[in-house]
């Protein structure tokens, strides 16, 4: 785990616990009272999925047990799956024993996050499986929820995908608005010369690719092109630059991604991996003795 991922995870969970007012659970305080005896529980899948959530569960438990309210309370957990595992419907992800109040405090935060992250991992894996290519990598984008980028991108990797740039500092990526503001592709690329930084440029037509290839950028993104225009652009790039990698993006979904399998490209970026994933069904149940 990278240091930035750990910091993001800690911040996200701290904020989520505070938002849910887990230390002021009036229902549990009134109905359970001092009868806070340990209870067995299990976290299980209610559909087939790729799991992502061990880091989340561990951090939620850690923060709760480090609080004054839940200090010393019992929470013993056994993981039966690890991040990136393929899990079948009705299979248990984890099981354990915990004092009733601490598990009720953390239950919703745990489930909200692992359902979301597992949905990203599952969706990513479906794209990787449908593409079925040993050469082309599925990439995420910066279309992430505020403050969740690092953990969402971690979930993409759990599903077999790869991360595009993490933020605006990671790489020069000249997009259509940059090109428009600079007065054209050549003007934009000339400003990045001799900067000793990786340069990617987004092109939405063959003519733009023809302009861009003169500068041998590290990556050319073919954005929202038809298959035919993409193929024409790929031929131009491969015939003129051994250095330039090729990324395809724009409107690619599970129904169409197989159409790109035969292309001589390096990456396909898919914004929907993180910005419109369908939440998967994971539950937490008490086991009565």
Active-site residue flag, 108: yes
Q: Are residues 230 and 263 in the same domain?
A: yes
Q: Phi and psi at residue 121, in whole multiples of 5°?
A: -60, -40
Q: Find the helix packing angle between 3-19 and 54-65, rounded to 10°.
A: 60
Q: Which two tokens stand for residue 98?
A: 């915990």
Domain assignment of residue 60, given as a range: 3-128+278-287
Active-site residue flag, 266: no
Mean pLDDT split into 10-residue runs, the chain, 289 residues: 89 97 92 83 96 96 94 90 96 94 94 97 97 96 94 97 94 92 92 86 96 95 96 97 95 94 97 91 90
Q: Are residues 57 and 154 in the same domain?
A: no
- Catalytic residue of the set 69, 126, 142, 143: 143
**Can you give the pLDDT at residue 33?**
76
**Can you give the pLDDT at residue 1?**
63
Q: Are residues 266 and 147 in the same domain?
A: yes
**Can you give the pLDDT at residue 289?**
66
Q: Report the alpha-carbon distance of residue 30 to residue 73 in Å, rounded.
A: 18
User: Quick one: which of 169, 129, 119 has its CA closest to 257?
Assistant: 129
**CATH at residue 162:** 3.20.20.70
Active-site residue flag, 46: no
Residues 272, 265: contact at Cβ < 8 Å? no
Q: Are residues 199 and 258 in the same domain?
A: yes
Q: Are residues 158 and 123 in the same domain?
A: no
- Catalytic residue of the set 69, 165, 171, 175: 175
Active-site residue flag, 69: no
- Catalytic residue of the set 108, 157, 171, 186: 108
Q: Are residues 121 and 77 in the same domain?
A: yes
């Amino acid at each position: 785990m990278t240091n930035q991922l750990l910091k993001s995870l800690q911040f996200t969970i701290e904020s989520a616990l505070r938002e849910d007012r887990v230390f002021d659970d009036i229902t549990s305080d009134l109905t359970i009272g001092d009868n806070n005896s340990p209870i067995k529980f299990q976290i299980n899948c209610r559909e087939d999925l790729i799991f992502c959530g061990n880091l989340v569960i561990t951090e939620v438990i850690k923060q709760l047990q480090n609080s004054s309210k839940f200090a010393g309370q019992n929470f013993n957990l056994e993981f039966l799956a690890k991040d990136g595992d393929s899990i079948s419907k009705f299979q248990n992800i984890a099981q354990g024993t915990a004092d009733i109040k601490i598990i009720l405090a953390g239950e919703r935060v745990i489930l909200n996050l692992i359902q979301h992250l597992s949905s990203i991992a599952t969706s990513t894996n479906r794209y990787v499986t449908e593409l079925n290519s040993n050469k082309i990598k599925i990439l995420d984008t910066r279309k992430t929820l505020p403050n969740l980028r690092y953990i969402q991108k971690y979930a993409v990797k759990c599903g077999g995908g790869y991360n595009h740039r993490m933020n605006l500092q990671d790489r020069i990526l000249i997009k259509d608005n940059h090109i428009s503001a600079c007065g054209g592709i050549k003007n934009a690329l000339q400003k990045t010369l001799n900067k000793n930084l990786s340069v990617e440029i987004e092109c939405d037509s063959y003519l733009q690719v023809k302009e861009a290839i003169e500068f041998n950028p590290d990556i050319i993104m073919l954005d929202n092109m038809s298959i035919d225009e993409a193929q024409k652009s790929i031929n131009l790039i491969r015939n003129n630059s051994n250095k330039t990698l090729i990324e395809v993006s724009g409107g690619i979904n599970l129904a169409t991604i197989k159409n790109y399998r035969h292309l001589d490209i390096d990456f396909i970026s898919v914004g929907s991996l993180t910005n419109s994933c369908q939440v998967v069904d994971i539950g937490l149940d008490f086991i009565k003795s």
